[in-house]
Structure 1
Amino acid sequence: MNILVWNCKGAMKPSFRSTIHDLTNFHSPGIMVVMETCISGSRASEILRTLPYDGIHTIDLVDYARGIWLLWRGDMVDMDVLTAMEQEILAIVKVLSSPSPWLLSSIYGSPRFEERQILWDNLCSVSLLHDLPWTIVGDYDDVIDGTEKLGGKPEVIDKGDSKLKKLRSVCGEEVYKTVVDALLELNDYNSSGRVSSDHCPLLLRLFENGQRRLERSIRFEKMWLNHPGFQQVVEKAWEFMPSLGLAISTFKNLASTWNKEIFGNIFARKRQLLPRIRGLQKALAAQPSAFLISLEQELSLEYASLLNQEEDFWALKSRVDWQLFGDRNTAFYHTKTIIKRKHNRIRRIMNQSGEWIEDEDQVMDIVLSGFKELYQTKHLTFISTADFEIEWAIALSTEDSRKLSTMPSNIEILKALSSLKPFEAPGVDGLHAGFFRHFWHILGSSVIDEILTIFASK
């Protein structure tokens, strides 16, 4: 699960809501901590109603400044707020996919040393009152030493040792160092880049001890078909490949690299392209030129292509016929995708004893054993056809039997493929029927050879 922490420097900015939605879409946090909101009351309530979180706890302003918003998704976590003060929200968190609760402290330290002293004393007291895992996130307005500060006036710790250092010593030097080093080495803690604020959003990825992150194989995306270079990836994968299986394996490796290095993230590209178009149009209004007009047309075509790719992206994931709902209805497709994912996610399952099982490995074992029991028989004997009179039984004619054992023709194989819906659920290889139909002129022979081999071996 992800925790996103952001000092937004004011929630009244026009870009605040769109930035929150973008960060949520990109990182899918179960918990988000927003600091220095500088807003409260009815105006804050109006903004909070538009954010994609159903769990909310806020700290009101102090002297028309500060403010902390603790936001969470109820379908991912249970949150029980224990205390809330001007500089901290302390809560017990229970991730729905995990049986173990833990503490979360959301911090926004006061710029005044005397007030910040109260925060440190409280955190040190809390550390002595529990033995739960504890995550402390936020803006401490403090550093361990002067080397942690870049730019501006040098940090001079002239009021004794850093209070952050004191908190570290209370929690335990070795524990603190082990946790921080592990986070940095695993790259589970990173900055998302500055957006709409001079503070970077911080992303913390949390995983249970022993929890396995299942590797997800790359899947074909319909939007790739709109890129002029994608066919070359397919051609290279199927070139000189002796079998369909090897060609598909090669294609998945090539497509993964191509998607990262060439195709890129369509949402990031769209976000970068819009300011360029707006700036170009302002320049055109001030001083038109043939070059600017040509560049505007080029960027407009690129933007239209991105819109088509975005529509294909969400339509494929929602598995809804786009012809029923019109073009570029990306909001509809996005909603359908989120709903489908929630329905498909198994957080816990009941075993044969009526107990709810939440451990990931145990849930997988129950599902596998259920399918094994479903498709295996416990009968140790079978009924022989010799026990019946064969004369009255229905049987295939000799001609029908001959037709069933005949090798399928190339046309029959293509017709069978064309009868499938092109972009329904993909196969275990991550490829849809529409992919094979679109590139049949490249890979058709390998598919035909594979099917004929299967028929010949049966």
Structure 2
Amino acid sequence: MISDEEETMEEIQLNNEAGEHHQDPPNASILAVLIDPVDPMCDILSWNCQGAASSGFRRALLFLVKKVKADIVGLMEPRISGGSADKACKSFGFDNWMRVEVVGFSGGMRQWIFKEGLIDLGLFGARFTWTRGREKNTFTGARLDRALCNLSWISRHPGTNVSHLARFCSDHSPILIDTTSNAKNGRAFPFQFQAAWLSHKDFSKVVSTTWDTKKNMLDNISNMQTRFVDWIKTDFGNIERRKNRLMARLDGIQNCLSNQPFNGLIRLERKLRLDLEETLHQEEIKWYQKSKEDWICSGDLNMKFYHAATMVRRAKNRIHGLKNDNDERLQNKDQVEALV
């Protein structure tokens, strides 16, 4: 789990000693190994290791850290505590580390996730992170391990990739969270109808004057797309710029009214206030549509959530890699381009 809490190692240790565990998830039995100072752009390795005391696990962990060049490592369910956990952490050979003892039971995990407003960052790689069974009729799998973050964190790291690594030494896959991947795929976004246009007073007029009943459906759709693109530039405009412009005008007019009010300014100020309220409503509709979070009704004014949900959806839709004919996953840009 990733949050945007900026605490130093000393602050975390003091809070733990004081018994402040109010932000810890239920059943949080965690060993966290901090390899390098936290950088805004870093690679995070998270692993439900199902036991961290053996020398075999130590070799596996060091191999993974070297392979993926992880900056932060989080180990869940180490199945050790107290002095044994301290000894294991020291044996990994890292200078900085901390651990959190188990708190509560797993039954409260879902409530904790909902309370903290955490968002699933999606995945790349094998669909299951946990499997069990040695034969086809007993094999079972599930995605039990996920990378979750809060709204502030995804706003700062919108290009984050989450990969499921190969399972070994545990029946859970290690998860690699890469915050350094912000490359654009360079594709042009196709035309998309915006529900916010419906609230504009001239929308119906644009449709009625452009749609030609004598033409076929495909021609009309093409003409409507062209007309809407021009209409956005000349009439509807950019919502963000319009919002800022209205705020600036309102500020100036209200300053003038405080010095010398007269009817023309009062009427203009009332109109601009209504225009700004309408613009904010259009902005909410825009982000609500982009987020595709159907369980929230328009009117919640939760713009921050809509924006974050949109960024997560875009990250999930981004092509992080392809499989070749040998069922091998290719993530290197040159390899992917060669395959295509």
TM score, norm. by length of structure 1? 0.33
Structure with larger RCO (C-alpha < 8 A, sep 6+):
2
Which of these two proteins has the greater Rg computed from alpha carbons? 1
TM-score, structure 2 normalization: 0.44
